[in-house]
Amino acid sequence: MQDSLKSGSAVILILLALMGTVFVRNFASVDNAAIIAKQSAIPAIAVLGMTMVLMTGGIDLSVGSVVGLASTATGFMAKVWGLPVGLTVAATVLLGSVVGFLNGAVIQYMKVPAFIATLGTGYILYGIAQLISAGTVITRLPPSLLAVGRTDLLGLPTSVFIAGGITALGWFLIHRSVFGRALSAFGFNPRAAFLSGLPTARVNVLTYVLCSSLAALAGLLLTIRVNAAQPNMGGGAFTFETITAAIVGGTSLFGGTGSVIGSLFGVLIMKVIENCINLMNISYHLYLAVQGGIILTVIVMDKIRSRAA
Task: Dump pLDDT digits (tens) for 222-272.
Answer: 999 999 999 998 888 899 999 999 988 888 888 888 889 999 999 999 999
pLDDT in tens, 73-107: 999 999 999 999 999 999 999 999 999 999 999 99
**Torsion over CA: 265, 271, 273, 279 (sign):** negative
Distance from C-alpha of 39 to C-alpha of 225, rounded to nearest angstrom:
10
pLDDT number for residue 5: 54
Domain positions in the chain are 2-308
pLDDT number for residue 306: 66
**Torsion over CA: 126, 132, 136, 139 (sign):** negative
Length of the chain: 309
250 touches 302 (CB < 8 A): no
Distance from C-alpha of 187 to C-alpha of 29, rounded to nearest angstrom:
41
pLDDT number for residue 155: 86
Angstrom distances, CA of residue 213 to CA of 11, 67, 96, 109, 287: 31, 10, 4, 20, 27
Question: Which listed CATH number (3.30.930.10, 1.10.357.10, 1.10.3470.10, 3.20.20.70) goes with 2-308?
Answer: 1.10.3470.10
Q: Which residues, given as ranges, of the chain have pLDDT below 70?
A: 1-7, 305-306, 308-309
